[in-house]
Amino acid sequence: MTSRFPSSHACASLLVLALAACSGGPDAAEAGPPDARADTPRSGQARDIPVVAEAFRSAMTPDDNIDSVAAWSAPDGGVWVIATAKATDRLVVYDGHTGQTLRTVGGPGTGAGEFDRPNGVAVVDDLVFVVERDNRRVQALRLPGFTHVTSFAGEDLAKPYGLWVNPVDAGYELYVTDAYMAGEDAGGEDIVPPLSGLDRRVKRYLVKRDGAGYRAQLVSAFGDTSERGALRVVESIWGDPLHGRLLIAEEDETYANELKVYDLEGNFSGRTIGGDVFRAQSEGIMLKECADGAGWWITTEQGKGRTVFHLFDRATLDHAGAVTGRMVANTDGIWLHQAASARFPQGVLYAVHDDQGVVAFDWRDIADALSLPACETD
C-alpha cells in the first residue's frame, strides 16, 4: 500500500536493488552463497532467522509495480500465479512452477476487464476477484479466459485495497478493506480519520449466483473505534472460518506493526498479535490449513532490505517461528497455494519481491526450517 509512508520501492536497500539489476530472469539466484541464518538488526538488536532458498524468481518488471498475488490450479495440471500491476493497470500471469511470464491481462480503463490501480487479488474456484483502488470497485473474472463476470461495490468503497473471499452455501462472502482518509495535511500526507470515523474500515459483501452471473449485496461495514482495536491504515486481511477469526494488518507504523484479531461478524476480539516480533510494516496474510484442524498463519514483515515471514499457531495464535529468503525483500502480497503439484507436492508460498516480480518457497523447506509437524491437507 502507498498512503502515509514513502514509496516502498524508493526505500529499498542498495543490496536489493543490485540483486534486481543483476538478475537475468526466472530461476536467477542471488550472487554468493547465503548464510544458513540471517541477522536482521534494528534498534541495536539482531535476530537469528532461518534462511530458506527461493524455488524461483520471476523476471523483474519495475514499471509494473507488482502488489499482490493469487494462484490457480489449471485443468492441465499447471499453476498460474496472477499478480496485480498497480502502475500499468493490468494483471501479470506467471507460471507457478517456473516463474516464467505467461501473459498480461487488461489495461487502463473503467470498463469490464479494465483496471485502475488494481491492488488486492484472490482466487476461489474458477473466479478471480480483483480490488481496484482508483476505480473503487471489485471485479470478478472467470478463469481461464479472464472473462468479465461482474463488477460491484463502486457506491460503497472510497479507497479499497485488500480482500478475503469465504465460500458459503449461498455463494461467496467478500471482506474488503477500505483505507479512506480525512484529507491531506500541508505536506501532502494522508490524515487518518479520528477513532470515531474508523467504523467502516471493512466492507462485507455477499456475492450470490444470479442466473448466469452473480449479484453482490453489501451486508455490513465495520471497524472498532477503541484505541486498541481501531484499524488506522488497512490493506491485508484473511480469515479462518474454523475458528471464526479475521486477521487484519495494521499498517500505520506510527502506531504499531501488528495484526488485529476480529471475528467474522466484525467485532474486535480484544487481541492483537505480532507487535512483539514485527520490526517493520505488517503486510500479507495467509493461512496454512491442515486436515486435522491444525495449521499456521503466515504473515509478512515488510522489511525494505529483507522480508521476514512470521508463523503463528492457527488455534492459539502463539508465535511459531520466522523464516526469510536469500533475496526476497519489500514484500506486499503473499499467497499460499495448498494444492499439490508436481513441483510443489506439499504446497508453495508465493511472495511479491521488491514491487517488481514474484518468488516462490516450497512449503517443505519452510516446514523443515522450523521443524513443523506434518500437515496433511484435504
- SS3 for 158? coil
pLDDT digits (tens, 9 = 90+) for 121-137: 999 999 999 999 999 99
Selection from 271, 261, 346 nearest residue 299 by Cα: 261
Q: Are 225 and 206 in contact (CB under 8 A)?
A: no
- SS3 for 73? strand
CATH 2.120.10.30 at 14-370, yes or no? yes
pLDDT at 170 (0 to 100): 86
**Which three cell numbers, joined as nine digits, stand for 180?**
479512506
Residue 197 pLDDT > 50: yes
Residue 45 pLDDT > 90: no
pLDDT digits (tens, 9 = 90+) for 93-103: 999 999 999 99
Q: Residues of the chain with pLDDT > 90: what percent?
A: 84
Q: What is the dihedral of CA 3, 172, 340, 130, to 10 degrees?
A: -30
Residue 216 pLDDT > 60: yes
Residue 2 pLDDT > 80: no
How far is residue 81's CA from residue 213's CA, in Å, rounded to a whole number? 24
Per-residue pLDDT, averaged over 259-284, amounts to 97
Per-residue pLDDT, averaged over 311-329, amounts to 98
pLDDT at 134 (0 to 100): 97
What pTM was computed for the model? 0.90
Per-residue pLDDT, averaged over 37-57, amounts to 72
Residue 21 pLDDT > 50: no
